[in-house]
Amino acid sequence: MEIIEIQNMSFTYPNTESKALIEINLSIRESEFLVICGQSGCGKTTLLRNLKKEIAPHGQQIGNILYKGVPIKKIDEKVSATEIGFVLQDPENQIVTDTVWHELAFGLENIGVPTPTIRRRIAETAHFFGINEWFEKSVFELSGGQKQLLNLASIMAMQPEVIIFDEPTAQLDPVAAKDFLTVLRRINLELGTTVIISEHRLEELFPISDRVLYMKDGQIDFSGDSKAFSAYITAIDFHTFRKALPSAVQISCGLKDKERYPISVREGRLWLQEYVQKNDCICQSTNGGSKLLRDKEKPVLRAKDLWYKYDQDPYVLKGLTLDIYPGEIHAILGSNGSGKTTALNVLAGILSPIKGTVKLKDKNISKIKDEVLYKNNIAVLNQNPKTMFVYDTVYEDLQESIKLLQLDKEHERIMEISDALGITHLLKNHPYDLSGGEQQKAAIAKLLLLNPEVLLLDEPTKGIDVYAKEELAKILIDRASEGRGVVMVTHDVEFVAMYCDICSMVFNGDIICTELAKDFFVGNNFYTTSANRISRGIIDNVVTCKDVISKCL
């Protein structure tokens, strides 16, 4: 039975000519686990927000959206609040109270649930989600993964029938993301809750989904199960979205098997074992552990013995030391709350360390007072790209970077960067009208126009699709090849494995290792790629799908 039905629905944002959604027809069954994917700007977020009337975007909607046969705009306020939940991408944006227990109670109190019922629901919800140990904590003490789990738990306390997720794992580390999706699957299986989720990270979602919806240019391009979708994408030569498919599919198709389509790591391992045995592949171990050869190089940015804490809180950084060298793309990884973003902000000079120094080309960063000189040396991408926009159009925001450095050929420079990142068609739009992935690309464009010596990026691939990731990688590689330093804090291990040179891991406020990217991933169980998990013990010393395929050919 359909719980949501969309009939010939189109949607247009104000002051735009093109439609964001075009004649969408979709039926979503009760208890279904539906994954929605596609390129940034294809209409995923617009579609999801139209399913929740309280956060529906402003614009012109044509057609009908029905919830249990009733138009969504006409359903009772209490029904909408309790039966249709929505979890946003950024955990910070949905928390409204100061403590965990109060956050769990907030929604129930607002709809007038009796106190004894609230106490019981909170208790069972806390047990189900395993949050008993931090039940009385301040929300400000929680990691990103805990905050997102709290958002989900707060919604589940309302006992919804449908939960909608807009890239809920985008800001979570690999371990926290897997834990979150495991809980999500339990909710779907054990409670029969309908799950509708938009994500760019499909590796863990495809094995647990009932159906995949692929959107393109505001329309539904495909609807079917994950194996059928894999067959659909791989049947099209040079389809860019193929690189967004699970690693098991990429490997099997790369080795010319277009019949079985293994989806999970487990299926991929079984398939690869059979392939290696059947084809007598030579998979001997190659020597790893290459040494970092930097003896003749001087770091472009050097942080030594950094200590930092916020007000009366415990220290976040505890003696962190890190060197950034020209010509390298350097990734900083670690769990939510480990101190990565704080370290990046101290490196940028946004935060001043309580102890320790940061030097840019042997000059203490705290002594660089000239704004133009500073911007020409260091540019920073914040975790929230919205904070970087101050004008009414994307073009005007990009102009700001050009004017700051008083560069010539203003229009040509803007168009060159915009074309490289695929945002030329967005230049007249208000930055806040863009999707999350489009905002991310516009913010990166603004930084690149500054042409800095050191580029510091906080979650640069958050919310952007596989197409944009490839373009971003090309730009970062070009910057590094010019002798510039590139540093990124990220949870996107697949991107790091393909494009980064160096990996550092932050743990408990300090850097515990700095290694060549390949050596880092080969030695890990959790902070590693799916291709490495699939091939471990079958093919030695491989990290990416390309590595696995080349070893077997």
Reported as a single tens digit per residue, the pLDDT across 1-40 is: 899 999 999 999 887 888 999 999 999 999 999 999 998 7
If pLDDT is split at 50, 70 and 90, which confidence band does 284 have? Answer: low
CB 148 within 8 A of CB 157: no
- Residue 386: predicted pLDDT: 83
Confidence of residue 549 (pLDDT cuts 50, 70, 90): very high
Q: pLDDT grade, residue 375 (50/70/90)?
A: low
Owner of token pair 């007249």: 428
Look over the chain and give the mean of its residue pLDDT values, rounded to a whole number: 87
> What does the pLDDT read at residue 86?
94
Query: How many CB atoms are closer than 10 A to CB 130?
Result: 12
- pLDDT value for 372: 46
Beta-strand relationship, 301-309 and 211-216: unpaired
pLDDT band at 517 (very low <50, low <70, confident <90, very high): very high
Task: Name the nearest CA neighbour of 147 among 313, 315, 332, 336.
Answer: 336
Residue 521 or residue 421, greater confidence: 521
Q: How confident is the model at residue 307 (pLDDT cuts 50, 70, 90)?
A: very high
Collapse the DSSP code of 377 into the 3-class scheme (helix H, G, I; strand E, B; otherwise coil) and give the result: helix
List alpha helices for 308-406, DSSP H.
340-348, 371-377, 394-405
| Rounded distance between C-alpha atoms, residue 45 and residue 73, angstroms | 18
The two three-digit tokens of residue 446, written as one number: 């603004």
What the block records as the tokens of 8 is 């010939």
pLDDT confidence tier of residue 477, bands split at 50, 70 and 90: very high
Please state the rounded mean pLDDT for residues 102-131. Answer: 90
- What pLDDT score was predicted for residue 406? 63
Dihedral over Cα of 36, 40, 43, 49: its sign? positive
Token representation of residue 242:
């193929």
* Residue 489: predicted pLDDT: 93
* pLDDT above 70 (res 252): yes
Q: What is the pTM of this model?
A: 0.84
* Position 426, amino acid: L
- List Cβ neighbours of 69 (8 Å cut-off, separation of 6 or more): 5
End-to-end CA distance of the chain: 48
Decide the pairing of beta strands 211-216 and 194-198: unpaired
The pLDDT tens digits of the residues spanning 46-66 come to 999 999 999 998 899 999 999
Q: H or E segment at 251? A: helix 247-254
Residue 68, CB-side half-sphere exposure with 13 Å CA sphere: 10
Distance of CA 389 to the CA centre of its chain: 20
Is the domain spanning 296-377+454-519 CATH 3.40.50.20? The answer is no
Give the residue-averaged pLDDT of 405-412.
Answer: 71
Using DSSP's 3-state secondary structure scheme, residue 334 falls into coil
Q: What is the pLDDT of residues 140-195, one digit of tens each?
A: 878 777 888 899 999 999 999 999 999 888 778 888 888 889 999 999 999 999 99
Q: Where are the domains of the chain?
A: 2-224, 296-377+454-519, 379-451
pLDDT over threshold 70, residue 285: no
Specify the CATH number for 2-224; select among 3.40.50.300, 3.10.129.10, 3.40.50.10190, 3.30.160.100.
3.40.50.300
Partnered with residue 33 across adjacent β-strands are 195
How many helices and strands, by DSSP H and E, does the chain display?
19, 20
Give the bridge partners for 37, in sequence order: 214
Q: Report residue 93: phi and psi, to 5°.
A: -75, -10
Rounded to whole angstroms, the Cα distance separating 155 from 148 reads 11
CA proximity to 160, closest of 70, 78, 47: 78
Which residues, other chains included, contact 279 with Cβ-Cβ below 8 Å and sequence gap of 6+? 552
Predicted pLDDT at 369: 55
Average of per-residue pLDDT across 106-122 = 91
User: What is the rounded CA–CA span in Å between residue 23 and residue 369?
Assistant: 55
Mean pLDDT of 487-501: 93
Determine how many CB atoms are found less than 10 A away from the CB of residue 111: 11
Beta carbons of 231 and 261 less than 8 angstroms apart: yes
Length of the chain: 553
More confident residue, 351 or 366: 351
Q: Would you say 513 and 520 are in contact if contact means Cβ atoms under 8 Å apart?
A: yes
Residue 374: pLDDT band (50, 70, 90) is low
**pLDDT of 256 above 70:** yes
Residue 36 CB-half CA count within 13 A: 26
- Dmax over CA atoms of the chain, in Å, equals 71
Per the CB < 8 A criterion, the answer to whether 200 and 465 are in contact is: yes
| DSSP category for residue 141 | G
What does the alpha-carbon distance between residue 460 and residue 383 come to, in Å, rounded to a whole number? 8
CA 78 to chain centre: 32
Query: Taking 50 as the threshold, does the pLDDT of residue 111 lie above it?
Result: yes
Strands, E assignment, 402-517: 454-458, 485-489, 502-507, 510-516
User: What is the pLDDT, as a whole number, of residue 259?
Assistant: 82
- Let me know if the fold of 2-224 is the same as that of 296-377+454-519: yes
d(CA 414, CA 405): 14
Q: Are 489 and 457 in contact (CB under 8 A)?
A: yes
Phi-psi region of 284 (alpha: psi -120 to 50; beta: other; left: phi over 0): beta
Task: Give 194-237 pLDDT, tens digit per residue.
Answer: 999 998 888 889 999 999 999 999 999 999 999 999 999 998 87
pLDDT tens per residue, range 322-336: 999 999 999 999 987
Distance between CA 186 and CA 190 in Å, rounded? 6
d(CA 135, CA 147): 12
Q: Are 144 and 91 in contact (CB under 8 A)?
A: yes
